[in-house]
Amino acid sequence: MDAFYASVELLRYPELRGRPVVVGGGQRHQPVLQPDGSRRFATLRDYAGRGVITTATYEARALGVHSGMGLMKAAALAPDAMLLPTDFDEYRRYSRRFKEVVAERAPSIENRGIDEIYIDLTEIPGVQETSEADPYAGVRDLASDIKARVRSATGLSCSIGVTPNKLLSKLCSDLEKPDGLTILTLADIPARIWPLPARRINGIGPKASARLEALGIRTIGDLAAADPQGLVDHFGSNYGAWLYEAAYGRDDRPMMTFSEPKSLSRETTFEQDLHPRHHREALGRIFTRLCERLAADLKAKQYAAKTIGVKLRYDDFKIVTREITLPAHTDDADAIRRNAGLCLKRVPLDRRLRLLGVRAGTLCKADALPASDDRAAGNAPRDETTLPLFDRPTDTPAP
DNA sequence: TCTGGGGTCCTAGGACCC
DNA sequence: TCTGGGGTCCTAGGACCC
């Protein structure tokens, strides 16, 4: 989907269409209805805090702001850009809607988050049809139809890349954004893919692209021309070999139409850095709240976790994590808080904290658990919750 | 003007087991 | 006298993605 969050907001506030708009940064900046019926919006100039841009309209991007950028920094570049708070519930509704209409034409769908999917078009009737003028007439019509359905169901535009595999489709869906439709075969790779920066490949991030650059490898073509053994020497056998294959557009990953979550987490960045001793009470409240929300998430999704972990970001941005594996799965807020507390005790608490997070890992579906599993990890009745960790009532036989 | 929140996957060392 | 080979689980950190 094109500039998804911002585009959804423009459906609500059409008067902002054509203007630079960014979405991000907490709930403090709700538009206010004026006596004359118009709405008053916050601008980036008004913003103070630690938020980042989650999505910027193309008009805002033209001013140099982009997702991930701190709002304070963005305000320096585009002080008059409109600022809207994020509304994930609304974006999830639109996400569901666009995926539903795609599924009407092409049921094999792999989710890639709220605003992206892979679609397998291989088996769709008519997809192989050709015409004199266009050898890809069949698939072009199909992709156009999918775009039209998405637009009519949601009012939103999307961009599609039609290629032999997921790697190339992800790359190509970006080539003609917004509202793009790009069809590409392996034969097109030298002309259309090799001139692109290596960084455009999904899986080559800031670190890898900087290291490639240091080796004189800037474009995907440079990567394709590189010595594969040299790549393996520099990046390891796995990643090095993958880099080389990716440069030729080779990718045999299958569609994953279903997947179980591996972990759930909750984290928060404080408005001001908090010191573990000086702000002990505030941190304790935040910590408990995170554990409660995580437990609620687990219950809502009907999962239980066997590992509980914490994440801290210090004022210098260094991150530490600690985790503990439980004797049995749990979705209980008290048990999560207790075990996360044990993790915290293993972390240096000598400087201010910027972020605190709690994570539940090694998940399993709650209904797949043996009934006894509930108990041991701490989902105990109230009168047992004061027992020391991992302790059990004396009448319970040890395993 | 310091940089969100929610995820996945990979690596690597150590414990422990057969 | 100097020490196997393979497997799994646990933990911490880091790169990357949406």
The answer to whether residue A379 scores a pLDDT higher than 70 is: no
Nucleic strand C under 7 Å from the C-beta of A203 = yes
Do residues A180 and A173 touch, judged by C-beta distance below 8 A?
A: yes
The model scores a pTM over 0.85: yes
Task: Using pLDDT thresholds of 50, 70 and 90, give the confidence band for residue A369.
Answer: confident
**What is the average per-residue pLDDT within A48-56?**
95
Per-residue pLDDT at A371: 66
Per-residue pLDDT at A26: 83
Q: Considering only residues 351-390 of chain A, list those whose CB is below 7 Å from strand C.
A: 362
CA distances from A359 to A274, A290, A297, A318, A337 (A): 20, 9, 11, 18, 11
Report the distance from CA of residue A321 to the C1' of nucleotide B15 in Å, as an integer. Answer: 20
Per-residue pLDDT at A253: 95
The answer to whether residue A386 scores a pLDDT higher than 70 is: no
Nucleic strand C under 7 Å from the C-beta of A112 = yes
Nucleotides of B under 7 A from a protein CB: 1-12
Sign of the alpha-carbon torsion through A42, A45, A50, A51? positive
So which residues of A are the catalytic ones?
A: 116
Cis peptide before A178 (omega within 30 of 0): yes
Buried b (16+ CB within 10 A) or exposed e, A69-83: bbbeebbeebeebbb
Report the distance from CA of residue A321 to the C1' of nucleotide C13 in Å, as an integer. Answer: 8
pLDDT digits (tens, 9 = 90+) for A230-283: 999 999 999 999 999 999 999 999 999 999 999 999 999 999 999 999 999 999
The answer to whether residue A394 scores a pLDDT higher than 60 is: no
The answer to whether residue A389 scores a pLDDT higher than 60 is: no
Lookup: nucleotide whose C1' is closest to A307 CA: C10
DSSP state of A13: -
Sign of the alpha-carbon torsion through A382, A383, A384, A387? positive
The answer to whether residue A395 scores a pLDDT higher than 90 is: no
Average pLDDT, chain A: 92
Nucleotides of C under 7 A from a protein CB: 9-18
Report the distance from CA of residue A275 to the C1' of nucleotide C4 in Å, as an integer. Answer: 51
Least confident of A42-51, A56-65, A331-340, A380-389: A380-389
Nucleic strand C under 7 Å from the C-beta of A208 = yes
Q: What percent of chain A has pLDDT over 70?
A: 93
Do residues A94 and A88 touch, judged by C-beta distance below 8 A?
A: no
Lookup: nucleotide whose C1' is closest to A72 CA: B1
Per-residue pLDDT at A372: 56
